[in-house]
Amino acid sequence: MTELTQSLRESFTQRTNGPLRLLREAAFARFAKLGLPTTQDEDWKYTSLAALAQMRFELAAEATVHDVDRWTLSDAAVRLTFVNGRYRPELSSRAPGGAFIGSLSAALVERPELVERELARHADSHGDALTALNTAFIEDGAFVHLPAGAALQAPIHLLYVSTAPGKPTLSQPRNLIVAGANSQATVVETYAGLDNEVYFTNAVTEVVLGDNARVDHYKLQAESARAFHVALTQIHQGRDSRFSSHSVALGAALARNEVRALFASEGSECTLNGLYMATGKQHLDNRTLIDHKSPRCTSRELYKGVLDGHSRGVFSGRVLVRQDAQKTDASQTNKNLLLSDDAIVDTKPQLEIFADDVKCAHGAAVGQLDENALFYLRSRGIGQEAARSLLTYAFASEMVNLVPLGPLRARVRDLVTSKLPAFERLKEAA
């Protein structure tokens, strides 16, 4: 038994009471049986959790925080702030009338029938140890329920900040977003570390879309440079629904972001966009699954990676077209830019097609900066590092510009350019 598993078992035995007790006990039994995944598991072939397994984490406690405002979004309709996975009402803003937007712990008390109808019904924890672990420790997170026909024009901001003074800590946020028929909302998840500390965030978000519902989902991962971050976003789409995901992964020593979308009914659309930028010895893993279970559905996927130093990036994208999913239209692309000879990327786009009337395409590319473009910029008096930064930002900016929310796009742009100091100096000189 690893140090992590032993510490989790000790923590779980102290928290067996409360709501969802049977669900939590069954989930922990599954986690104990499965154990942490290893590189012998095909889904984790390129990402080792060996360092994580040898650490002891304490469940995160209440903490005093500072400098939270720098992560807020000025145009959010409502902000829910969580510190070490626990809701902090004094750092949050009130939700507009009509929809329920609040903490999961409060919703379990106030509206248990709404929560229990969907919670843990979609994110598969039977074969996924870390999802099972999250379910076993369900305590708090965000619950968003949009009644039929509700339309929120401004975004909902779910802000998760972590701090670990003293010992490594573990937080396991659980988010549930339920969009009723013909409803519409934008949700932004931000994960940030306030200090350069060691902690582990294991997050699960379930998104359930009713018929003709639309949800635009954004995730910004900017954890501490010494943190571990594992997250799953599971989407269940009803008839004629629309879902878009924009993932930006910049932080953490080791991070894995997984997105799974299921077309449960026909006529739906799903768009998955992602940008990951790693430096030093960072390891950033992205895994996606789009399950075309129903006919006449459309999916689009574009992920880009920028790897520097001794970092490693992973992209594993699977598009599954089932036998009855005729008239499927699916496209998947992964592009990677290596800035050093020591950076590594493993890319594995996959198409599995069991229907015959479909239009599907996929592709991957790995390359370095164009020497001709570098020479052109150098001939115009731009220094070597500034030229490299300009071309790198040009590669990444496509993903930045796909974010339509102004304040969030500006935040992402600042974080991206902060990884390109020569680009920042060039802007200041101009």
Mean pLDDT by 10 residues, the chain (430 residues): 75 68 91 93 95 87 78 88 93 81 93 92 84 93 95 94 87 96 97 91 97 98 96 98 98 97 97 97 98 98 97 97 97 97 96 96 95 94 91 95 93 92 60
In this prediction, residue 64 carries a pLDDT of 75
- Cα separation of 213 and 204, whole Å? 21
Residue in the block written with tokens 């890319």 = 347
Token pair in block for residue 117: 């109808």
Burial grade of 63 (CB within 10 A; 0-12, 13-18, 19 or more): middle
Q: 328-338 and 58-59 as β-strands: parallel, antiparallel, unpaired?
A: unpaired
Q: One-letter amino acid identity for 312?
A: R
Question: SS3 string of 189-220?
Answer: EEEEECCCCCEEEEEEEEEEECCCCEEEEEEE
Token pair in block for residue 416: 């991206």
Residues 6+ apart with CB under 8 A from 254: 47, 49, 51, 52, 228, 229, 282, 283, 285
Q: What is the pLDDT of residues 271-318, one digit of tens each?
A: 999 999 999 999 999 999 999 999 999 999 999 999 999 999 999 999
In this prediction, residue 138 carries a pLDDT of 92
Distance of CA 346 to the CA centre of its chain: 19
- Cα separation of 284 and 301, whole Å? 18
In this prediction, residue 66 carries a pLDDT of 75
In this prediction, residue 40 carries a pLDDT of 94
* pTM for this prediction: 0.94
Max CA distance (Å), the chain: 69
Q: Which conformational region is residue 53 in: left (phi greater than 0), alpha (psi within -120 to 50 degrees), or beta?
A: alpha
Residues 340 and 309 sit within 8 Å (Cβ to Cβ) = yes
Phi, psi for 310 (deg, rounded to 5): -105, 25
In this prediction, residue 17 carries a pLDDT of 62
CA angle, residues 126, 130, 135, in degrees to nearest 5: 70
In this prediction, residue 163 carries a pLDDT of 87
- Cα separation of 33 and 29, whole Å? 6
384 C-beta neighbours (distance < 10 Å), count: 11
In this prediction, residue 75 carries a pLDDT of 82
Strand partners, 357: none
Q: 78-83 and 283-292 as β-strands: parallel, antiparallel, unpaired?
A: unpaired
In this prediction, residue 21 carries a pLDDT of 86
Reference 304, options 348, 343, 270, 334; nearest CA is 334
